[in-house]
Amino acid sequence: MSINNKLKRNISVSYVYNFLLQLNITSAIWVLYLAFRGMSLVEIGLLESVYHITGVLFELPTGVIADVYGKKFSVIIGRIVSVISCILMIISDSFLGFAIAFCLSAASMNLNSGAAEALVYDSLKELGEEEKYKKIWGNLAFVMSIAQGLAVLLGGILADIKFLYAYILGTILQIGALIAAYSFSEPPIHKEKAKDKEEEKQQGNLIVNQLVTSIKVLKARRMVLYLILFSALVASVQTTVYFYSQKYFSDMGYSKTAIAIICTLSSLVDAISSKYAYRIEKLLKLKGTLIGIALVNLFSLMGLALIKNLSIVFFLVISISGGVGFIIFSDYINKRIPSEYRATILSFDSLCFSAFMIFVFPLFGLLAEKIGFSITFGIIALLYVPVMMFIMLKLRKHQNKENVGGIKNDRIGFK
């Protein structure tokens, strides 16, 4: 099989791989599962912090692993670690056991984040078809969101019968994703700068150089840096709302199946938003899209805080900005970073997300346990505003200061 055919196959394999990866049966029940196993909301918040602290520690190193040793290698190792984590979630019965499982789960996602995305972009780039990335990534996100919707629906139904069934099926599906990962082909990377031959012989120096140079790339591309921060803040707020809403809706008297249906609808909204994100961005440009995402999140948080009877509606509305943002941020960031540092810099994106989650998730759990969910949603909304405004101002400041790869920032529509 020719290299071009292998690279084209990467796109097809990505649909299968990402579908299985996102068919995460436990995604809409893990908070309920941990509560069932005796964990308090504070302990659940701490476990999620353990997950994201691990993410912060391992995100950049795993990105370097993908850039140095190969994206396919990184993706495969990630799925092996994920299977081990799933098994630990089944057999553990203490905070420590669950914490180890969360650490391994985070490491598995670290190994996947950046690497799987870079596989797609670099395959298209080698084929000379990178302009198709936004649409293809939107289609992939649509498939992933559909998988998430099916997963939470099936997971909720199985959890109503027995939690164990959901976790066993989840483990089997991760094994399926591991098998699919073996079908990837590593895209060739044409480095933009020749590296010293002596440095190539010393992998330790190469890894350090990879990190240092990636940081320099971000310093030179401040627009990318602040887009990453914007993306991380939006994703952390949406993820916190999504997961804690399991308990929020449970306290309102909804069954696990009903909660799963609500989460499935959220995934459907996310999927449709992802599929048509490129059209929204074409209409609004970057500035309008960013403002729209920020306002939708704020509107949803305040709605959850003040109008409990419409909480499901606001829960679904926040999914719109999640679907749009996921595609738009990925496209803008990928276009402005060199291929040889792509996985490392995309891993920095995930690192920023983890850093926000370390603060937001346990804070939310602590406040919700002490003063209730409604007031907590309002407090998070109030905290969200100044941080978002700061990032937006920084984006505006750097819009005319960069010329990255021949693409001026005033052409990306942030005016």
Q: What is the pLDDT along the chain (415 residues), one digit of tens a residue?
A: 567 778 888 888 889 998 998 888 887 678 888 988 888 888 888 898 888 888 778 876 777 777 778 888 989 999 999 999 999 999 998 999 999 999 999 888 888 876 777 788 888 888 888 778 777 877 887 888 788 778 878 887 888 888 888 889 989 999 999 999 998 888 776 554 444 444 444 444 555 665 676 677 777 777 888 888 888 888 888 888 888 887 888 888 888 788 888 888 887 888 788 777 777 777 777 778 788 888 888 999 999 999 988 999 999 988 887 778 777 777 777 777 776 667 667 767 777 887 888 888 888 888 988 899 999 999 989 988 898 888 888 877 766 555 444 444 433 333 3
Helix (H) or strand (E) holding 403: strand 403-404
Q: Alpha helix locations (H) across 252-306?
A: 256-275, 277-306
Compute CA 344 distance to the chain's CA centroid, rounded to the nearest angstrom: 15
**CA distances for 167 relative to 25, 31, 86, 265, angstroms:** 7, 13, 7, 22
Neighbours of 172 (CB within 10 A): 12
What is the pTM assigned to this prediction?
Answer: 0.65
Which H, E and C letters describe 158-190, residue by residue? HHHHCHHHHHHHHHHHHHHHHHHHCCCCCCCCC
As a whole number of angstroms, the longest Cα–Cα distance in the chain is: 66
- DSSP for residue 404: E
Predicted local distance difference test score (pLDDT) of residue 379: 92
- CA end-to-end distance (rounded Å), the chain: 47
Predicted local distance difference test score (pLDDT) of residue 376: 92
Q: Name every residue whose Cβ is closer than 8 Å to that of residue 191 and which is 6 or more positions away in sequence.
A: 339, 340
Predicted local distance difference test score (pLDDT) of residue 128: 83
**CA distances for 31 relative to 16, 243, 399, angstroms:** 27, 7, 41
Distance CA 331, CA 224 (A): 11
Instruction: Compute and round to an integer the Cα radius of gyration of the chain.
Output: 21
Distance CA 339, CA 122 (A): 7
Predicted local distance difference test score (pLDDT) of residue 176: 93
| Phi, psi (deg, nearest 5) at residue 404 | -95, 120
Predicted local distance difference test score (pLDDT) of residue 415: 35
Contact at 8 Å (CB) between 244 and 259? no
Domain ranges of the chain: 3-185+202-401
Distance CA 303, CA 296 (A): 10
Predicted local distance difference test score (pLDDT) of residue 90: 92
Place of tokens 């690279």: 7
Positive or negative CA dihedral for 253, 257, 263, 264?
negative
- DSSP for residue 254: -
Predicted local distance difference test score (pLDDT) of residue 70: 83
Distance CA 33, CA 75 (A): 27
Distance CA 150, CA 22 (A): 9
- Residue 406 has which token pair? 């021949």
Neighbours of 251 (CB within 10 A): 11
Name the superfamily (CATH) of residues 3-185+202-401: MFS general substrate transporter like domains (1.20.1250.20)
Contact at 8 Å (CB) between 389 and 290? no
- Residue 220 has which token pair? 């030179």
Helix (H, G, I), strand (E, B) or coil at 25: coil
Distance CA 92, CA 332 (A): 41
